[in-house]
């Protein structure tokens, strides 16, 4: 096999094992992503639990997307059409600028990955043979363990540090409900949905959270309208406009007068809604609630505070869903080069843009690759025929 293919496989296995080693130890130390009963299992039983919970299938889908695009990058590399190095996926965070520093970092990653592959194999073996969590040996008083229990080492360490002043503060730290491995974010008090505590990048500590919520609500409202319009575009047409089943093409077929009216209407709303106060520093003077433009507020009359809160929470969540939905709709039409329905057009095989460098569709290429008739094999680029 090609040496670049071997190095690519070695790097990817090493990276996965580095993450897997950290994940195994973190699980044995009691860290969980949720309080759901499905997550309260040992590391050994985590695989079956993920399959039952449904997260394994989601993980495979996302990894499959990453592998597909990574496979295309590897093909171009093997054919000499790019200067990509094995294992390079364009991530440059904390990457040195000089060549000597880059070489040293690559060497460290390679060695750490090799060590992690050996370490992970040892961790799994020790866990199965001993039936105990990491570090797999008794520390302090032994006691029976249940699935998902913290390791003896972790418990012993906490007891030893009980007299220190840091332990009580750590135990009393309020954690985020959505990300329990992080502290509860500050600045979300008074906002709808604050109980979830989701602000991992601490935006609310750097910007006015009311301004951020205003932007989120407006984007969500626009996207809720957009999703309805995207679906309706295939079946309905305003007078004077050209029927365009593929909503992605509507921006090219729309009547210029309609575009002008839309821009004028949106600009008028934006320029008059705040009374001239449009910056983060002054737009909330007068204690105006984020997203409250006194439009549709009549529907809230006669409702209790809890009912009003529930309606606001539903709007927020529906807006977030709509922001993701409109992105998926646009991408769907781009991939199939057609309207939204049917989701999979009759006779459709593969996206037009997903072809090999020689112009061969991926589906035909993969069939040839399996059957040994692919150009990569016949040209001795990928291996020996």
pLDDT at 329: 94
Lowest mean pLDDT among 16-30, 132-146, 319-333: 132-146
Res 118 pLDDT > 90: yes
Q: Between the CA of residue 126 and those of 134, 136, 274, 354, what are the distances in Å?
A: 9, 7, 64, 44
- pLDDT exceeding 70 applies to what percent of the chain? 76
By C-alpha distance, which of 384, 239, 236, 249 is closest to 330?
Answer: 249
pLDDT at 352: 57
Instruction: State the virtual CA torsion across 171, 180, 13, 45 in degrees, nearest 10.
Output: 90
Task: Detail the DSSP E strand segments found in the chain.
Answer: none
Q: Which two tokens stand for residue 133?
A: 């969590």
Contact 151, 28 (CB under 8 A): yes
The three-class DSSP label of residue 64 is helix
Phi, psi of 49 (to 5 degrees): -65, -40
Segment 206-243, tens digit of pLDDT: 888 998 999 999 999 999 999 999 999 999 998 888 99
Segment 72-107, tens digit of pLDDT: 777 767 777 667 788 887 777 788 888 898 889 989
Give the whole-angstrom CA distance, residue 297 versus residue 311.
11
Res 163 pLDDT > 50: no
pLDDT at 375: 46
Contact 58, 50 (CB under 8 A): no
Please count the other Cβ atoms lying within 10 Å of the Cβ belonging to residue 229. 13
pLDDT at 351: 63
Tell me the DSSP string of 261-280: HHHHHHHHHHHHTTTT--ST
Contact 203, 212 (CB under 8 A): yes
Res 26 pLDDT > 90: no
Q: Between the CA of residue 251 and those of 38, 221, 233, 315, what are the distances in Å?
A: 46, 20, 11, 28
Q: Which two tokens stand for residue 107?
A: 């060497």
Res 144 pLDDT > 80: no
Give the whole-angstrom CA distance, residue 185 versus residue 203.
9
């Amino acid at each position: 096999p090609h040496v670049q293919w071997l190095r690519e496989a070695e790097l990817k296995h090493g990276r996965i094992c580095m993450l897997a080693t950290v994940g195994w130890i973190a699980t044995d130390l009691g860290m969980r992503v949720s309080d759901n009963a499905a997550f309260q299992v040992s590391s050994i039983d985590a695989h079956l639990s993920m399959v039952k919970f449904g997260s394994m299938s989601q993980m495979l889908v996302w990894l499959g997307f990453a592998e597909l695009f990574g496979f295309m990058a590897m093909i171009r590399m093997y054919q000499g059409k790019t200067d990509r190095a094995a294992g390079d996926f364009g991530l440059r965070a904390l990457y040195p600028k000089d060549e000597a520093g880059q070489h040293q970092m690559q060497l460290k990653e390679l060695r750490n990955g090799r060590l992690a592959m050996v370490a992970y194999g040892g961790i799994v073996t020790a866990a199965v043979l001993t039936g105990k969590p990491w570090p797999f040996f008794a520390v302090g008083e032994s006691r029976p363990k249940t699935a998902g229990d913290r390791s003896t080492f972790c418990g012993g360490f906490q007891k030893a540090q009980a007299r220190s002043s840091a332990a009580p503060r750590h135990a009393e730290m309020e954690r985020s409900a959505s990300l329990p491995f992080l502290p509860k974010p500050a600045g979300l008090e008074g906002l709808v949905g604050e109980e979830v505590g989701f602000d991992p990048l601490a935006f609310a500590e750097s910007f006015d959270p009311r301004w951020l919520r205003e932007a989120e609500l407006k984007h969500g409202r626009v996207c809720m309208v957009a999703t309805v319009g995207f679906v309706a575009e295939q079946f309905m047409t305003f007078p004077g406009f050209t029927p365009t089943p593929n909503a992605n093409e509507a921006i090219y077929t729309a009547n210029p007068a309609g575009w002008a009216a839309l821009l004028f209407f949106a600009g008028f709303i934006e320029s008059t809604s705040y009374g001239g106060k449009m910056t983060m520093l002054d737009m909330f003077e007068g204690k105006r609630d984020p997203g409250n433009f006194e439009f549709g507020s009549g529907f809230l009359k006669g409702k209790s505070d809890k009912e009003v809160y529930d309606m606001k929470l539903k709007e927020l969540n529906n807006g977030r869903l709509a922001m993701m939905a409109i992105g998926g709709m646009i991408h769907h039409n781009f991939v199939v080069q057609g309207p939204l329905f049917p989701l999979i057009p009759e006779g459709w095989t593969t996206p037009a843009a997903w072809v090999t460098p020689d112009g061969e569709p991926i589906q035909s290429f993969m069939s040839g690759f399996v059957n040994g008739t692919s150009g990569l094999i016949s040209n001795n680029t990928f291996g020996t025929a």
